[in-house]
Amino acid sequence: MPKLISLIGMQDVLKTVDFIDRSDGTIVFRTCAKERSKVILQLGTSDPDRALKAAKLLENDVAGVDVNMGCPKEFSIKGGMGAALLSNPDKACSILKNLVRNLAIPVTCKIRVLDTIEETVELSKKLSECGIAALAVHGRMRHERPQHSNRNDFIKKVSEVVPVPLIANGGSKEIENYSDFEKFKIATGCSSVMVARAAEWNCSIFRPEGKLPLTDVIKAYLHYAIDYDNAPANCKYCIQNMLQDLQETEEGKALLKAQTLEQISAVWGLDNYYRLKEAEYRAKGILDRWEVKPINETKRRKVITDDSNSDDDTKELRCAFIRNLYPADSDLPKTRLMVYARRKGLEQPKYISSQSDKLFKSIVVFNNQKYSSSYWEKNRRWAEQTAALVCLCYEGVIDKVALESNGSIK
């Protein structure tokens, strides 16, 4: 498991609870007190003890724990998780029983239907006897995908025999408006409905008054993302799901190129709002990814080259490499520094890289001077590009103000 710790995340700023991989500063999960009674932690697991260890980390910050026994993805199946548990009911039950016995919050699970109604009913009964609070049934088989029809008749039969509340799943193709929830619920005989893709496409589907325009939903989402310092990659993924077949629009193409939260916000005219919030948070002392350093940095640093890595005389800037700012290979900082050295008749730059945990830092030696960034990157190639960028800035090839304006320097 990642080296996670639970801590109050920027208590006076964001008022969140953050679970952080301390080896690289990645926020694995962020929540808040307002969400505690609403958020369910879903686990992909094949091990009862490991599942409990993970659930215990978040037990006080979520409303319940769900075990995903329906995911058909290859990575999940190979790990014995997800839909692989459908063919291993004894292990599935041991996971559920271990969680139910040792957690103070409700435990549920989600399955897919099996080859026959009878097999599906038998498995559902067995799982419901583990003490779970509810069972969700997706009406497609393990090998089926969204283009296949949902077997509502399978789900309905299960709902007639299991003693726990049943949640119907797999009806996104049938659910286009709020009123469709009730239709799906009646068709499956379930006590409630679970929906994923329809909600990802436009979360205002839960409004009885009707859905909002997609642009309004995206802007509202971005406001939340900015307010809670959401990860850019997560924002991009969520908005791409909302856009669906609009990927080729002007906004869709701009989103594809965006890499930072500021760039994503700019697509919908919220970049000023982002900058104001960022300034506000930094004034209040918020720490972000830029401040992350490896655990026990000086003790655990692994030098990748054989050269000395003493950086006492290294010139540093608080600089990061933002890949989409350099569309062509000739624009890359390392390429520009190589060309600059050749034009000046100087020896080619030499890179000395180090790794600690999942983070990398590089020093470039150029014209008898060392340059580096105080920012740790997530791969060696980007760390070298960052070091070259710092060198180019000190050499006057790139303007520092330009780097500040595009977000490379903070």
Known catalytic residues?
Answer: 71
Strand ranges, E, within 77-197? 107-112, 134-138, 166-169, 192-193
Q: Which two tokens stand for residue 328?
A: 């062509």
Note whether 403 and 409 are within 8 A (CB). yes
Return all residues near 279 (Cβ < 8 A) that are at least 6 apart. Answer: none
Instruction: Show the CA angle centred on residue 111, arms to residues 109 and 117, nearest 5°.
Output: 130
Three-state SS for 138?
A: strand
For 191, list phi and psi in degrees, rounded to 5: -85, -20
Return all residues near 203 (Cβ < 8 A) that are at least 6 apart. Answer: 217, 221
Q: What is the DSSP string of 362-404?
A: EEEEETTEEEEESSPBSSHHHHHHHHHHHHHHHTTSS-HHHHH
Q: How many helices (H) and strands (E) are present in the chain, helices listed first?
A: 16, 14
Note whether 24 and 71 are within 8 A (CB). no
Residue with the two structure tokens 């301390």 = 22
**Distances in whole angstroms, Cα of residue 32 to Cα of each of 10, 103, 332:** 11, 20, 40
